[in-house]
Structure 1
Amino acid sequence: MKQVDVTVVGGGLAGMIAAVAIARAGRHVALVAPSWSKPDGRTTALMDQSIRFLERLAIWDRISPNASALSTMQIIDGTKRLLRAPTVAFRAAEIGLEAFGYNMPNTILIAALNDATHSEGNITRIDAVATAVDISDRGVSIALDNGETIESTFVVGSDGRHSMVRESAGIGVKTWSYPQSAMVLNFAHALAHQNVSTEFHTESGPFTQVPLPGNRSSLVWVQKLDEATANAAKSLEELSRLVEDRMQSMLGKVTVEEGVQVWQLSGMTARRFGKGRAALIGEAAHVFPPIGAQGLNLSLRDIISLADILGDRPQQPIEASAGDRFDRKRRIDILSRTASVDLLNRSLLSDFLPVQMLRAAGLHVLSALPPLRNIVMREGIEPGRGFKIRPSIFTEKLRR
């Protein structure tokens, strides 16, 4: 029987980052997860707040040579509707940053996190699957498929949308689905992307190109279910021509790479994000469409808050109410981000004229008012950051 302060169940990106952060906060951590076996051809875009967090964990230097900066993010209305919004460009330099964030291959991120979890003295990696989780006021007991048992004073559920930790804590979920699928792929292109990410808003959802190192980009293309099925059956050559056409040839000739993935979109939020001696992070807590690079960035904010709570007094036992503190701390951010992504996605699908007018008007205002655009950009990379601007400065900019 192993005894630790905290057990993290689930070894995905969020689980490994959580293990490192909590260990660096002074707690002895057991990371329970089978070793990675499947190659992951996807990419991840991390915003400035997340990058600074990885810097504090001494992980970013290993990743940065293989990441591409997101210096400009532009939105183009690619619909054929009567009311179309103007193109809006958000430039990191407007808020004093070199980049909003960076996009990187998941293989690089996974390798760096694997190294960090293996080299951290406060982490015990256990190559096993949790088969039962018992949470009480006194502590947590976790049975593994290798016959071992782990005793800890706190458990972190990072075990996906079908989380055993969440179920063991008696936490319910709210789920919903969308009539859409997301196609994810990487492609090479003839022209340089110049660190510009472009999101086309279409009637079926966002079509988002994100830079990668060199003349390569990743793409998240949200489509109607039947459209995604038909496009997934196309050859790479046909798909390349289709992507180039949807990109309006902005990056020249496109060559789609092997590894195209498609899955139906759905959403989920847990009724609570922490309870007693348990906390939920990542997809154990929240799932929503891959829009606006919010997924892992939201999970990292979960981890930042959790590490602060568990590392507040590392020499003292973890309180039985730590999970409740975490729930209170994370609730507003998670629910507001989930609602905003859901609203944006549904507004693109809606043929209701007033909804189209509101979306177009909102983008027009952002295009015309730099101070408001400044706030939106700051809020996009770190909640609360946009409203730290002094009101007098905001008023002066509006007057000008």
Structure 2
Amino acid sequence: MQRRQIIVVGGGLAGTATALGFASAGFDTLLAAPKAPDDARSSAILGRCLAFIAELGVVDALGDRKAPLAVMRIVDDLQRLFRAPTVEFRASEVGLSAFGINALNGDLAKALEACIERTGNLEVRPLAARDLALSDDRAVVTLEDGTEIGADLVVAADGRHSAMREAAGIGSRQWRYPQTAIVLNVEHKRDHGSVSTEFHTRTGPFTQVPLPGRRSSLVWVEDPKLAELYVDLKPEKLETTIAEKMHWILGDVSIDGPISRFPLGGSRVNQMTSTRLALVGEAGHAFPPIGAQGLNLGLRDAEALVRLATESRDDPGSRLMLRRYEAARRGDVLSRTAGVDMLNRSLLMDFLPGQIARSGTLAAMGLVGPLRQFAMREGLVPGAGFVGLPRSVKKWIGGDEAGREGVEQERYGRH
């Protein structure tokens, strides 16, 4: 039987970054994943997550195929009795040049692949895993070609319907929202100025996120029946509708590339670990594309798992390491999942006290600087609201090029 220290199952962005992280930390790693389909969506990567992939070389590999996110704006477009003022979160308020970057998922995947090609101890097999056996001394993954491979640790990063999670007997709760997300990219007449705008509407958020040049990605959450009608509109009519929904802040727009739509739902697991197994990304949590939290939560899983396994290098799949990972991720996963769920549901309900509470919270954010800055730091790095942003974030996002060699020591605790 073949053997590796680490097997990562799942070739999405979070899974590939996890495998690259383990290999870069010196582990003999196997990434088992069929080639992922083309993905025209984009992802915003913020705070410590950007520092994590930057240390792996992914940001340099992206080159100019990314756009900085310097300002995040929330606009109340609910047209209800109590309307919250527009709130702008500026990275400069917390000493950063940007909160992070936005890039097309396809470009992120290519950048990850380029980094993998330069990594010596990472093998990629374009095969799905079909079975998993777990015991105290090892895990055994069976690939679809029948090959069995033993490992100290298996990382399940194979999506919200994770076969590895089910094989380990970890239960999950799935739910649906009465919403559909329309996802597309657009070109526009006016410069976005590195500003992302999230319009809160009665059917859900309508979010514009900068791409390089005069281009932006859009995530448009809509009633399913209306979403179907919008997608079938003639391009000229749809472009006018999009510009109107953005209140013409970017001028005329034109559709750039394919349009896709998918139903919105969420999931949550009973536990993030089992014997010799850890869950990463949507295998452990999933929720609507609101507030740029989805991939970032998965990358925080990856960063924590690699860091803790490095601190337990003699046995990276030990019970102690897995207990530490479970404890490290529980609060972040629960709070972000609940927060996104609550925000999304608050947009759909007409309950007056809920409207007042939501409007009051946004108004407070806009008026009270320390509260707004707390929210920004906490959004970038869980726990940083009170203690400040860590050194790694300031080095990679704050524009300070000096002293980057100290970042690696901070991340892995080496002195």
By the TM > 0.5 criterion, same fold? Answer: yes
Q: Distance in 2 between matches of 1:288 and 1:318?
A: 28
Q: Distance in 2 between matches of 1:319 and 1:87?
A: 49
Q: Distance in 1 between matches of 2:341 and 2:10?
A: 26
- Shift of residue 187, structure 1, vs aligned partner: 0.2
Aligned CA distance change for structure 1 residues 238 and 27 (closer, same or farther; 3 Å): same
Contact 2:309 2:316 in 1 (8 A): no
Contact 1:277 1:321 in 2 (8 A): no
- Shift of residue 328, structure 1, vs aligned partner: 1.5
Instruction: Please give the root-mean-square deviation of Cα atoms over the aligned residues, in Å.
Output: 1.4
- After alignment, is 73-82 or 311-320 more displaced? 311-320
- Shift of residue 209, structure 1, vs aligned partner: 0.3
Match of 2:404 in 1: none
TM-score (norm 1): 0.95
- After alignment, is 332-341 or 310-319 more displaced? 310-319
Taking the TM superposition and a 5 Å limit, the aligned residue runs for 1:203-218 are: 203-218=202-217
Match of 2:337 in 1: 338
Q: Distance in 2 between matches of 1:134 and 1:52?
A: 34
* Letter of the structure 1 residue corresponding to residue 380 of structure 2: I
Q: Distance in 1 between matches of 2:96 and 2:348?
A: 33
Match of 1:248 in 2: 247
Match of 2:128 in 1: 129
- Shift of residue 318, structure 1, vs aligned partner: 3.8
Match of 1:6 in 2: 6
* Letter of the structure 2 residue corresponding to residue 11 of structure 1: G
Tell me, what secondary structure is at the counterpart of 1:66? coil
Q: Distance in 2 between matches of 1:26 and 1:258?
A: 39
Match of 2:50 in 1: 51
- After alignment, is 262-271 or 125-134 more displaced? 125-134
Match of 1:309 in 2: 308
Contact 1:183 1:228 in 2 (8 A): yes
Q: Distance in 2 between matches of 1:238 and 1:139?
A: 58
Match of 1:368 in 2: 367
- 1:353 and 2:370 matched: no
Q: Distance in 1 between matches of 2:151 and 2:21?
A: 17
- Shift of residue 29, structure 1, vs aligned partner: 0.7
Taking the TM superposition and a 5 Å limit, the aligned residue runs for 1:229-240 are: 229-240=228-239
- Shift of residue 305, structure 1, vs aligned partner: 0.8
- After alignment, is 56-65 or 237-246 more displaced? 56-65
Q: Distance in 1 between matches of 2:188 and 2:102?
A: 16
Taking the TM superposition and a 5 Å limit, the aligned residue runs for 1:1-400 are: 1-36=1-36, 38-316=37-315, 318-389=317-388
Q: Distance in 1 between matches of 2:205 and 2:85?
A: 15
- Shift of residue 135, structure 1, vs aligned partner: 1.0
CA displacement 1:234-265 (0-9 Å, x = unmatched): 12211101000001111010111231111110
TM-score (norm 2): 0.91
Contact 1:25 1:314 in 2 (8 A): no
Aligned CA distance change for structure 1 residues 164 and 52 (closer, same or farther; 3 Å): same
Q: Distance in 2 between matches of 1:313 and 1:204?
A: 47
- Shift of residue 8, structure 1, vs aligned partner: 0.4
- After alignment, is 27-36 or 341-350 more displaced? 27-36
Contact 1:118 1:125 in 2 (8 A): no
Contact 1:244 1:252 in 2 (8 A): yes
Contact 1:275 1:321 in 2 (8 A): no
Instruction: Provide structure 1 residue ranges, at least 5 long, that are not aligned to the other structure.
Output: 391-400
Q: Distance in 2 between matches of 1:291 and 1:144?
A: 35
Q: Distance in 1 between matches of 2:71 and 2:315?
A: 45
CA displacement 1:92-141 (0-9 Å, x = unmatched): 10110000111011121101111222331121111211111111112111
Contact 2:153 2:316 in 1 (8 A): no
Q: Distance in 1 between matches of 2:117 and 2:2?
A: 18
Contact 1:275 1:327 in 2 (8 A): no
CA displacement 1:215-245 (0-9 Å, x = unmatched): 0000001111111111111122111010000
Q: Distance in 2 between matches of 1:43 and 1:33?
A: 21
Q: Distance in 2 between matches of 1:360 and 1:206?
A: 15
Contact 2:211 2:217 in 1 (8 A): yes
- After alignment, is 110-119 or 221-230 more displaced? 110-119
- After alignment, is 19-28 or 361-370 more displaced? 19-28
Contact 1:156 1:279 in 2 (8 A): yes
Q: Distance in 1 between matches of 2:50 and 2:87?
A: 25
- Shift of residue 316, structure 1, vs aligned partner: 4.8
Aligned length, in residue pairs: 389
Tell me, what secondary structure is at the counterpart of 1:241? helix
Contact 1:236 1:257 in 2 (8 A): no
Q: Distance in 2 between matches of 1:207 and 1:79?
A: 11
Q: Distance in 2 between matches of 1:270 and 1:184?
A: 27
Contact 1:276 1:324 in 2 (8 A): no
- Shift of residue 372, structure 1, vs aligned partner: 0.6
Contact 2:83 2:359 in 1 (8 A): yes
Q: Distance in 2 between matches of 1:67 and 1:306?
A: 26
Tell me, what secondary structure is at the counterpart of 2:199? strand
- Shift of residue 383, structure 1, vs aligned partner: 0.6
- Shift of residue 60, structure 1, vs aligned partner: 1.3
- Shift of residue 314, structure 1, vs aligned partner: 2.5
* Letter of the structure 2 residue corresponding to residue 257 of structure 1: D
Q: Distance in 2 between matches of 1:51 and 1:258?
A: 26
- Shift of residue 321, structure 1, vs aligned partner: 4.2
Match of 2:399 in 1: none
Moved over 3 A (4+): 315-318
Q: Distance in 2 between matches of 1:313 and 1:326?
A: 11
